[in-house]
């Protein structure tokens, strides 16, 4: 019985693998370049790419449970659909898919819409799957720490509706626990969806106040201008992705990214400990600067 992890060298995938290995699972990692991959002892490394069908056929052979994580790329939906079809042909029934929270609400945001399409295909293809829907990753804010500390501004367009930000370390542990739950079940379990959220819902001013407290000086919230947000992102990412992120930011402002009743309590019970907070992240980031 083997669990295959895709996106294995990324921030989440690599942590999922570590959690699985720590719990004694038989793990296989799908990577594009094995020479650059470093995993715990015992992890089988296979070379493959979502658009290389033969490599997927080889990688999926003998796999019982699949962790499906697709990067935000222009052909994300195509890549995922190929993976699902190859998985079905390989006899894989058990899947944990990393989607995104509220993909049925953020319908105009390309990478949300793509993931919602993948969710629908998982359901239509009768996979026994867990669909994980994480909110905004707390660690995304590592990319703006120099702006916060250097200019005294929190620039993300979070708005005043609030985001239930979640730490990627919690995402990875929850994903690993779900993979093991499905892998170890005597019979395939029915499809389920649940939101992955942090312990609190924070507005832009809330986050600026946390940084002010942690750094001991005034940090202002200045993230309401999504046009400027797109322009800044366009300096270090493709224009299509910067626009995608702008559209997401606009939905932050109009809709927020809110948990549903029982989300926090359910995740806390699953982990057996409190969820990591944004304040914890800010304190760790400040201490390591």
Tens digit of each residue's pLDDT (9 = 90 or more) over 242-262: 999 999 999 999 999 999 999
Span 169-186, mean pLDDT? 97
Mean pLDDT of the chain: 96
Span 208-219, mean pLDDT? 97
pLDDT at 126 over 80: yes
Tens digit of each residue's pLDDT (9 = 90 or more) over 225-237: 999 999 999 999 9
pLDDT score of 180: 98
The single residue listed with the structure tokens 């626009």 is: 243
Q: How far apart are CA 171 and CA 165, in angstroms?
A: 11
Number of other residues whose CB lies within 10 A of the CB of residue 140: 12
Gyration radius from the chain CA atoms: 19
pLDDT score of 289: 66
pLDDT score of 33: 92
Tens digit of each residue's pLDDT (9 = 90 or more) over 37-51: 899 999 999 999 999
Burial class (CB in 10 A: 0-12, 13-18, 19+), 107: exposed
pLDDT score of 288: 84
Instruction: Report all structural domains of the chain as residue ranges with CATH numbers, in order of start.
Output: 3-135+167-196 (3.40.50.720)
Number of other residues whose CB lies within 10 A of the CB of residue 146: 10
Span 160-181, mean pLDDT? 98
What are the residues facing 260 on neighbouring strands? none
Q: How far apart are CA 256 and CA 125, in angstroms?
A: 31
- Read off φ and ψ for residue 196, nearest 5 degrees: -110, 115
What are the residues facing 28 on neighbouring strands? 4, 44
Longest dimension (CA), the chain: 58
What are the residues facing 92 on neighbouring strands? none
Q: How far apart are CA 24 and CA 30, in angstroms?
A: 19
Q: How confident is the model at residue 1 (pLDDT cuts 50, 70, 90)?
A: confident
pLDDT at 110 over 70: yes
Q: How confident is the model at residue 223 (pLDDT cuts 50, 70, 90)?
A: confident
Share of the chain above pLDDT 70, in %: 100
> What is the SS3 assignment for 49-91?
CCCCHHHHHHHHCCCCEEEECCCCCCCHHHHHHHHHHHHHHCC
Give me the count of residues in the chain: 289
Ramachandran sector of residue 126 (left: φ over 0; alpha: ψ -120 to 50; beta: rest) = left
DSSP string, the chain: --EEESSTTSHHHHHHHHHHHHTT--EEEEES-GGG----TT-EEEE--TT-HHHHHHHHTT-SEEEE---S-TTHHHHHHHHHHHHHHTT--EEEEE--S-TTTSTTSHHHHHHHHHHHHHHHTT-EEEEEEE--BGGGGGGGHHHHHHHSEE-S--TTT-B--B-HHHHHHHHHHHHHHHHH-SSPPPPEEEEE--SS-B-HHHHHHHHHHHHTS--EE----HHHHHHHHTTTS-HHHHHHHHHHHHHHHHH-BPPPTTHHHHHHHHHTSPPPPHHHHHHHHHHH-
Span 127-154, mean pLDDT? 96
Contact 214, 146 (CB under 8 A): no
């Amino acid at each position: 019985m083997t669990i295959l992890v895709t996106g294995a060298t990324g921030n989440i995938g690599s942590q999922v693998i570590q959690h699985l290995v720590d719990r004694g699972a038989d793990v296989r990692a799908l990577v594009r370049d094995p020479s650059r991959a470093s995993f715990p002892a015992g992890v089988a490394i296979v070379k493959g790419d979502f658009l290389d069908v033969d490599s997927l056929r080889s990688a999926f052979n003998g796999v019982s449970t699949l962790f499906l994580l697709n990067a935000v790329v222009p052909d994300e939906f195509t890549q995922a659909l190929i993976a699902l079809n190859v998985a079905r042909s390989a006899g894989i029934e058990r899947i944990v898919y990393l989607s995104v929270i509220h993909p049925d609400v953020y319908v105009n945001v390309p990478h949300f819409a793509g993931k919602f399409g993948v969710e629908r295909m998982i359901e239509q293809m009768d996979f026994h799957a867990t669909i994980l829907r994480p909110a905004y990753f707390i660690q995304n804010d590592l990319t703006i720490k120099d702006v916060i500390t250097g200019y005294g501004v929190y620039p993300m367009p979070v708005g005043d509706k609030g985001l239930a930000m979640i730490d990627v370390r919690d995402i990875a542990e929850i994903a690993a626990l779900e993979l093991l739950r499905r892998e170890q079940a005597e019979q395939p379990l029915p499809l389920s969806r649940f939101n992955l959220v942090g312990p609190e819902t924070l507005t832009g001013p809330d986050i600026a106040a946390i940084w002010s407290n942690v750094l001991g000086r005034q940090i202002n919230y200045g993230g309401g201008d999504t046009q400027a947000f797109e322009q800044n992102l366009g300096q270090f990412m493709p224009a299509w992705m910067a626009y995608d992120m702008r559209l997401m930011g606009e939905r932050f402002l109009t809709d927020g990214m809110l948990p549903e009743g029982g989300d926090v309590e359910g995740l806390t019970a699953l982990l057996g400990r409190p969820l990591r907070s944004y304040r914890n992240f800010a304190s760790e980031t400040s201490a390591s600067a």
